[in-house]
A and B are shown apart, each in its own frame.
Chain A
Amino acid sequence: MQGTLDVLILRTLLFGPQHGQGIARAIKESSDHELLVEHGALYPALQRLEERRWISARWGTSSNNRKARFYSLTKSGRERLVRESSKWRRLAAAMSRVLGPETEPS
């Protein structure tokens, strides 16, 4: 869904600067492996967010001494995340209301 990945990225960066590979891993792990991001799709999204000034990037060194491009949340990115989060919460609540309680436990 359009915008899903953006929110996931911004949310991940809330905990501090992270490189692309770390973001991909964090999204997968924090969603209990429910959300699988194809790593290749992540980078154009990161580029888009960077051009909108929601995140900023600089090259640095990872914990295992690899060169990596680290992304961090900007002020407007933070604001964007707040807006988008409340939008998604409303959407999720609306969806679960429409679907009703689970009929058969799986």
Chain B
Amino acid sequence: METPGRRDVARARTRDGAQLISFFRRRRTHEDFADEIEAHLDLEADRLIGEGWTHDRAREEARRRFGNVALARERFYETSRWIWLDQFVRDLRYGWRTLCQSPSFFATAVVTLMVGIGLSTMAFTVFNAYVLRPYAVRSPAGLHHIGWRSETSGGMSFRWNDYLELEDRNDLFDGVVAETMKFVTSESHALAAGLVSNNYFDTLGPRVLLGRTFTAMDEEPVAVLSNQAWRRLYAGDESVVGPRA
């Protein structure tokens, strides 16, 4: 009837739990709960014996007053916060065993998932680069490309004077930048260089990794390298910033 050894173990466990684990308290064991019920029945029986009941009838009465012991244990199990964890771990184990029984299915599933995830990642990367973040500028949605087309011939390019006129139209745009592309050769490397107006970086506001861009204050021509060109021509050397090329 008495199992003092087991109860001592339960007590030690509870004490550890109370002292060591403050937030993620160790889950109270079923044994501990069962011990508590047993202790209750003993105490109640003691009291009834004190009131004049015989030993056997006192235990019986204590059990009757307690009600359904199995139900109490079940409720204890259900009130515990970790019930889902118990079941989750069991599900995982079951799943693992099932997979191990059919390795070819296991392998097929893993490969299928790998390919699927890889493709999705790739598709999203492309979508992200071309649709979600097309330009690394301050407000891509407000960016417009102005074209010029005559009725007789095809496209026409803007001349500098046209640009200056457009730039004065503050009622239409927050800022107007001019850009033209030229292929240049630098130290036997062919480069695509964008010749841009001096307000280019102020207006578009892309991020700069090193050094500075240029502003409308600059008198001397300034070159800004793209990250790609910097890595390709100078192998990412930080000392290229500053000296005049």
- Given A44-B76, A69-B36: A21 touches B43 (CB 8 Å cut-off): yes
Partner of A66, one of B11, B46, B69, B80: B46
Whole-angstrom distance between the Cβ of B116 and the nearest chain A Cβ: 41
Contacts of A5 in B (CB 8 A): none
- Are the CB atoms of A25 and B47 closer together than 8 Å? yes
**The 5 residue pairs across chains A and B that have the minimum distance between CB atoms:** A40-B67, A44-B75, A59-B11, A21-B43, A40-B72
B66 beta carbon closer than 8 Å to chain A: yes
Q: How many angstroms from the CA of A62 to the CA of B46 in the assembled complex?
A: 11
Whole-angstrom distance between the Cβ of B59 and the nearest chain A Cβ: 13
Within 8 A of A (CB), among B41-88: 42-44, 46-47, 65-69, 71-72, 75-76, 79-81
> A residues engaging B (CB < 8 A)?
19-22, 25, 38-41, 43-44, 47-48, 51, 56-59, 62, 64, 66-69
- Are the CB atoms of A44 and B72 closer together than 8 Å? yes
- Are the CB atoms of B79 and A67 closer together than 8 Å? no
Q: How many angstroms from the CA of A45 to the CA of B164 in the assembled complex?
A: 81
Q: How many angstroms from the CA of A41 to the CA of B40 in the assembled complex?
A: 13
8 A-B pairs within 8 Å (CB atoms) are namely A21-B43, A39-B40, A43-B75, A44-B72, A44-B75, A44-B76, A47-B79, A67-B11
Q: Compute the total of residue contacts between A and B using a CB distance below 8 Å.
A: 79
- Are the CB atoms of B67 and A39 closer together than 8 Å? yes
Q: How many angstroms from the CA of A58 to the CA of B15 in the assembled complex?
A: 7
The residue on A at minimum CB distance from B78 is A44
- Are the CB atoms of A43 and B36 closer together than 8 Å? yes
- Are the CB atoms of A58 and B43 closer together than 8 Å? no
Contacts of B11 in A (CB 8 A): 59, 67
- Are the CB atoms of A57 and B40 closer together than 8 Å? no
Whole-angstrom distance between the Cβ of B41 and the nearest chain A Cβ: 8
Whole-angstrom distance between the Cβ of A20 and the nearest chain B Cβ: 5
Partner of A21, one of B35, B44, B75: B44
B10 beta carbon closer than 8 Å to chain A: yes
Whole-angstrom distance between the Cβ of A18 and the nearest chain B Cβ: 11
Q: How many angstroms from the CA of A15 to the CA of B166 in the assembled complex?
A: 85
Contacts of B66 in A (CB 8 A): 38-40
The residue on B at minimum CB distance from A40 is B67
- Are the CB atoms of A68 and B46 closer together than 8 Å? no
Contacts of A38 in B (CB 8 A): 65-67
- Are the CB atoms of B76 and A47 closer together than 8 Å? yes
- Are the CB atoms of B7 and A67 closer together than 8 Å? yes
Whole-angstrom distance between the Cβ of A2 and the nearest chain B Cβ: 14
Q: How many angstroms from the CA of A58 to the CA of B18 in the assembled complex?
A: 8
- Given A39-B44, A47-B76, A58-B18: A69 touches B67 (CB 8 Å cut-off): no
- Given A44-B72, A47-B79: A39 touches B65 (CB 8 Å cut-off): yes
- Are the CB atoms of A19 and B43 closer together than 8 Å? yes
- Are the CB atoms of A66 and B39 closer together than 8 Å? yes
The residue on B at minimum CB distance from A69 is B36
Q: How many angstroms from the CA of A21 to the CA of B35 in the assembled complex?
A: 13
